[in-house]
Amino acid sequence: MASNAERPRDVLVAERLQARFGAAPGWALVLGSGLGVLIDQLADAAQCSHADLGLPAPGVKGHAGCVAVGTLGGARVALLSGRVHLYEGHAPADVVAYVRALARWGVHTLVLTNAAGSARADWAPGTVVRLTDHIDFTHGNPLVGPNRDDLGPRFPDLSSVYEPGLGARIDELALARGVALERGVYVAMRGPSFETPAEVRMCRILGADVIGMSTVPEAIAAVHAGLRVAAFSVVSNYGAGLVDEAPDHDAVTATVSASVGPLAGLLAELVQGG
């Protein structure tokens, strides 16, 4: 039998999730910068730190680094408050270790959230965006290297990363709840510096609507492992060059925290459908 040192991190983390929380819920929600306040809406919650599970601990303000399992809108879910990023120096496999562990544990649907800059002058801070596609400029594809045949195929199809049927259901719920929801393309940059005005213009020309530094490696790993994926950006600031004010991470977190209410209600209703 292989020692723990020889076994993949996601296998060990999945075993610890099972030991700590029991059977996996169907849904897991990942809370980006400023979105950790959603954990306050979780009932009957049990929590565990990333470190206790064997996951790398986030080092960015606004990312608590814990997993909580409880009920949201009457449905049992897992909430992951915070993530690690490529720009912190983590290897792609470590960035997506939690995604692979969730798949092994038995989660079937992953909802990714993030704070993002707007590449559009008409999308102000506070705008909630359902992602329909992405562009990857991170140079951090987690599938590079020997394929993990135990997780998924060598060449996964990314033509529908953000599952269209799930997206249509989200749109219906948003309409019924009166939640203003835009739909758009996310471009992932490696960071950690904010983009230059020329880079923001380039992203817009290429078809991007919002710009961030996360989510895409995780979405790729999730599709590879067979998970359904939905993703949301909360616009936290205008991209450089669109307004005179320079982006600031503290302002990003504060803006998202103040804007998360409608998204929280939408997510609570979404997970009830199982």
56, 83 contact by CB (below 8 A) = no
CA gap 40, 74 in Å, rounded: 14
Rounded mean pLDDT, 199-224: 98
pLDDT at 2: 56
CA gap 63, 214 in Å, rounded: 12
Rounded mean pLDDT, 249-272: 82
pLDDT at 82: 80
Domains of the chain: 4-271 (3.40.50.1580)
pLDDT at 6: 76
Q: State the pLDDT confidence band at 256, using cuts at 50, 70 and 90.
A: confident
Q: State the pLDDT confidence band at 245, using cuts at 50, 70 and 90.
A: confident
pLDDT at 60: 65
Is it the case that residue 195 has pLDDT exceeding 90?
A: yes
CA gap 161, 170 in Å, rounded: 15
In this structure, are strands 43-49 and 210-212 parallel, antiparallel, or unpaired?
A: unpaired
Contacts of 98 (CB under 8 A, 6+ apart): 10, 13, 30, 50, 55, 80, 83
Q: What is the pLDDT of residues 139-193, one digit of tens each?
A: 999 999 999 999 999 999 999 999 999 999 999 999 999 999 999 999 999 999 9
Q: What is the pLDDT of residues 13-53, one digit of tens each?
A: 999 999 999 999 999 999 886 777 778 888 899 999 999 99
- The CA distances from residue 174 to 114, 125, 129, 167, in Å, are 18, 19, 11, 10
Is it the case that residue 4 has pLDDT exceeding 70?
A: no
Specify the higher pLDDT residue, 225 or 35.
Answer: 225
pLDDT at 1: 47
245, 229 contact by CB (below 8 A) = no
Percent of the chain past pLDDT 90, that is, above it, reads: 76
